[in-house]
Amino acid sequence: MHFKTLAESFDKIEHVSSRLAMTDLLADLFKKSKADEIARIVYLCQGKLAPAFKDIEVGMGESYVEEGIAKASGYSKADVDKEFKKRGDLGLVAQEFFSKKKQRSLFSSELSIGKVFKNLIKIATVSGSGSQQLKIKLLAELLNSASPIEAKYLVRIPLGNLRLGIGDPTIMDSFAKNLSEEARKNKALVKGVEKKLKEKKEEKREAELEKKIRLKVRELIESKYNVYSDLGGLAEKLAEKGLKGLEKIEITPGVPIRPTLAERLPTAKEIVEKLGRCAVEAKYDGFRLAIHKDKGKVTIFSRRQENVTDMFPEITDAVRKQIKAVDAIFEGEALVFNEETEEYFPFQVTIQRKRKYDIDKMAKEFPLTLFAFDLLYANGKSLMNLPFKKRRERLGKMIGKGKTIELTESIETDKTEEVESFFNESVEKGLEGIIAKDLNAGYIAGARKFAWIKLKRSYKGELGDTVDTVILGFFKGKGKRTQFGLGGLLTGVYDEKEDKFKSLAKIGTGMTEEMLSDLHKMLSKIKEGKKPARIDSELKPDYWVEPKYVIEVNADEITRSPIHTAGKKKGEQGFALRFPRMIKIRQDKKAEQATTVKEIEAMFKRQKHVGLSE
Ligand code: ATP
């Protein structure tokens, strides 16, 4: 495919705002893509060159991109910079400059996806002396052959923000659209769907069937994505083999799995009522790590599925020594723990281990203990469908002697008092609380279900839990805060159904002066000239930002709000946080892993329910 076709699709996508229209455009684009190029096209739609866990970022600073534009367009860097200051988007600057380009390249030829990809990969991977100049040259080389529309996106990719508002859910919707014709011919699938049809009238039934088939296919795709976090790889299998390609996708060591998540209940009594006899484990406050062992090769993924292997050498060593299985995927929480005094260190100490330098020194000073809590795969077999009780037994048997990897503390009970006293013991030890687990449940990748229920130290007079919100924009500081350039944040939560971020709270407290200026620095880099496509907010901050950073927030309660859009339905108000205060940045979460609108709704209901019973 020519890069021009992709750039033109991007341009159309940029100019529509409904998710349906976006899905149709993406579906057309993927239909036109050949099986051997579709993976690369999907990565480019995600603004990447590879799945996130492969850690290949094109990453060029604005100044170098400006040089690239200048080099290829014949304008000076100062001209480019001046226009950038005016427009706030180098993509638009490139588009404009290339439409009135001063010098024409002698050998400009049509850019293919292959050529673009080759140069971008080089830009992403060259290092050492002279590498910046080489990066500029590689970008300029592409720009030399580019039309104005192509230039716009060629510039935005290395800057790490395509500004299209395509989320993974929309990409999956478009895969489902392209597969629905084939699915219509799949007798078993149609039969299963037909059973659930509600419409009686023949003509309406047909439309309902169509919709349900598409939803079923979408569900199948997502269930695979949950255990195989590589949308490009998935697209390739679908393009090669259609629906049958889905069967070929299996949990694989080295490819991260989306983590299972815990629901909340406010009391031990309700937990026991919900689960009956259950396992109750201590809730540790550290890093959630997924460990993949493939013979001698150990890979560690963070909660946001980044490859963090290099940060934790003592864990990698321990996996080789302590884990008896040839290959395995298991999960645990890692934190600094003093075995002699049996003291768990607070998160502020553990977080120091998240660094790229002085790793060995820090590993000696603050060694981590990994408290393992689940086993998903061992010796070539997926264990995700085994009941939790069996998975934990196998996990226990798999861990050999050693100090670094241990099983989580756990009891099995159906008595409220025992859950309560285990909770109190855990809190006394400085832990966060407990997680109760359904003994019979399989591992539910990527979803928050009642297979796990968390109960945390209660924040007296406040919400039973903190909320993780996404920063959507910021307000200029007033008075004393003028000096920091930032006085408050507009934040929101994730609406999974619509794949949008909806506003929930304006936050101006809880930040130290240092935090304010750090936030300003961080957010200035991702400022947007207009409201990003995936944000839904009626409140307008001074500056919009790309929804990227998640912050943990505490508040007194959730209230109904006419201003915010989270949970807002026709004729109903949205939700807001009362007296929100920032606690910290959640570096371990991606925007899509923030608290969801659905969770806010549940927390709101529960809060009322608790109030009534008191
Ligand atoms: P929180 O902010 O409460 O940590 P979260 O949104 O990060 O929640 P949840 O899925 O709601 O994530 O809570 C589960 C988290 O608790 C896991 O992601 C994991 O990091 C941590 N954890 C600590 N101890 C355990 C344990 N024994 N079993 C499972 N998860 C545990």
- Tell me what pLDDT residue 613 has: 34
Residues contacting residue 473 through CB under 8 Å, at least 6 positions apart: 489, 490, 535, 537, 540, 541, 542, 543, 544, 545
| 289 CA from centroid of ligand 1 (Å) | 11
DSSP 284: -
> 3-state DSSP call for residue 32?
helix
Atom of ligand 1 nearest to the CA of 408: 27
Q: How confident is the model at residue 601 (pLDDT cuts 50, 70, 90)?
A: very high
Ligand 1 touching residue 262 (CB < 6 A): yes
Q: What is the mean pLDDT of residues 348-369?
A: 91
Q: Are residues 265 and 229 in the same domain?
A: no
The residues carrying an active-site annotation are: 283
Measured CA to CA, the distance from residue 440 to residue 425 in angstroms comes to 26
454 lines ligand 1 (CB under 6 A): yes
Residue 123 sits in the same domain as residue 151: yes
Query: What is residue 606's predicted lDDT score, i.e. its pLDDT?
Result: 81
Locate 184 and state its tokens.
């219509």
Using the atom order of ligand 1, give the atom closest to the CA of residue 259: 18
> Which residue's CA is the closest to the ligand 1 atom numbered 11?
262
Greater model confidence, 480 or 69: 69
pLDDT of residue 105: 55
Mean pLDDT calculated for residue range 230-247: 94
Is residue 335 domain-shared with residue 373, that is, in the same domain? yes
CA–centroid distance, residue 341 to ligand 1 (Å): 24
How far is 577 from 584, CA to CA, in rounded Å? 16
Residue 429: pLDDT above 70? yes
Taking the CA of residue 371 as reference, the ligand 1 atom at the shortest distance is 27
435 lines ligand 1 (CB under 6 A): yes
Does some domain include residue 462?
A: no
Contact predicate 338/345, CB 8 Å: yes
Cα radius of gyration (the chain) = 26
Nearest to 346 by CA among 455, 423, 456, 432: 432
For residue 216, the SS3 value is helix
Q: Is residue 255 situated within a structural domain?
A: no
**207 falls in which pLDDT band (50, 70, 90)?**
confident
CATH number at residue 140: 1.10.3260.10
We report the CATH number of the domain holding residue 426 as 3.30.470.30
Question: Does residue 256 lie in a domain region?
Answer: no
d(CA 240, CA 69): 38
Read off the pLDDT band of 544 (50, 70, 90). Answer: very high
pLDDT tens, 436-457? 999 999 999 999 999 999 998 7
Over residues 480-503, mean pLDDT: 92
Domain count, the chain: 4
Indicate the range of 88-92, 231-235, 384-388 predicted with least confidence: 88-92
304 lines ligand 1 (CB under 6 A): no
Q: What's the confidence (pLDDT) of residue 612?
A: 36
- Ligand 1: which atom is nearest the Cα of residue 589? 7
End position of a domain, from candidates 456, 478, 505: 456
CA of 260 to the centre of ligand 1 (A): 9
The CATH code of the domain that includes 513 is 2.40.50.140
375 and 493, same domain (yes or no): no
Q: Tell whether 503 is covered by a domain.
A: yes
Does residue 230 surpass a pLDDT of 80? yes
Query: Is 461 part of any domain?
Result: no
pLDDT score of 160 more than 50: yes
pLDDT of residue 103: 54
Mean pLDDT score across all residues of the chain: 92
The pLDDT of residue 95 is above 80 = yes
176 and 290, same domain (yes or no): no
Check pLDDT > 90 for residue 199. no
Question: What does the pLDDT average to over 494-518?
Answer: 93
Query: CB of 368 closer than 6 A to ligand 1?
Result: no
Q: pLDDT at position 281, please?
A: 98
In a domain, 614, yes or no: no
In ligand 1, the atom with minimum distance to the C-alpha of 454 is: 13
pLDDT the model gives residue 104: 53
- Shared domain for 300 and 394, answered yes or no, is yes
Of the candidate ranges 19-28, 247-256, 423-432, the one whose mean pLDDT is the lowest = 423-432
596 Cβ below 6 A of ligand 1: no
Phi first, then psi, for residue 525 (nearest 5°) are -70, -20
Last residue of a domain, one of 248, 281, 300: 248
261 lines ligand 1 (CB under 6 A): yes
For 116-148, the pLDDT digits (tens) are 999 999 999 999 999 999 999 999 999 999 999
For residues 8 and 41, membership in a common domain is answered with yes
143 shares a domain with 55: yes
Does residue 373's CB lie within 6 angstroms of at least one atom of ligand 1?
Answer: yes
543-545 and 527-528 beta bridge pairing = antiparallel
| Residue of 409, 427, 435 to mutate, ligand 1, most atoms within 8 A of C-beta | 435
Backbone angles phi, psi at 33, to 5 degrees: -85, 140
In our burial notation (b when 16+ CB lie closer than 10 A, e otherwise), range 73-98 reads bebeeebbbebbeeeebbbbbbbebb
More confident residue, 347 or 156: 156
| The domain boundary residue, chosen from 392, 422, 456 | 456
Identify the pLDDT of residue 611: 39
Whether 613 is in a domain gets the answer: no
Residues 47 and 131 placed together within one structural domain of the fold: yes
pTM: predicted TM-score of the whole model, two decimal places: 0.88
pLDDT band (50, 70, 90) for residue 266: confident
d(CA 512, CA 519): 10
pLDDT at 459: 52
What is the mean predicted confidence (pLDDT) over 493-505? 95
Q: How confident is the model at residue 614 (pLDDT cuts 50, 70, 90)?
A: very low
Q: Are residues 333 and 445 in the same domain?
A: yes
User: Is 319 in the same domain as 361?
Assistant: yes
Kindly tell me if the per-residue pLDDT of 159 is higher than 70. yes
Domain span at residue 69? 3-159
**Looking at the domain assignment, is residue 612 inside a domain?**
no
First and final C-alpha spacing in the chain: 65
268 and 383, same domain (yes or no): yes
Number of H helices, E strands in the chain: 22, 22
pLDDT in tens, 71-83: 999 999 999 999 9
- Per-residue pLDDT band for 200 (boundaries 50, 70, 90) equals confident
More confident residue, 179 or 340: 179
Predicted confidence band at 241 (pLDDT cuts at 50, 70, 90)?
Answer: very high
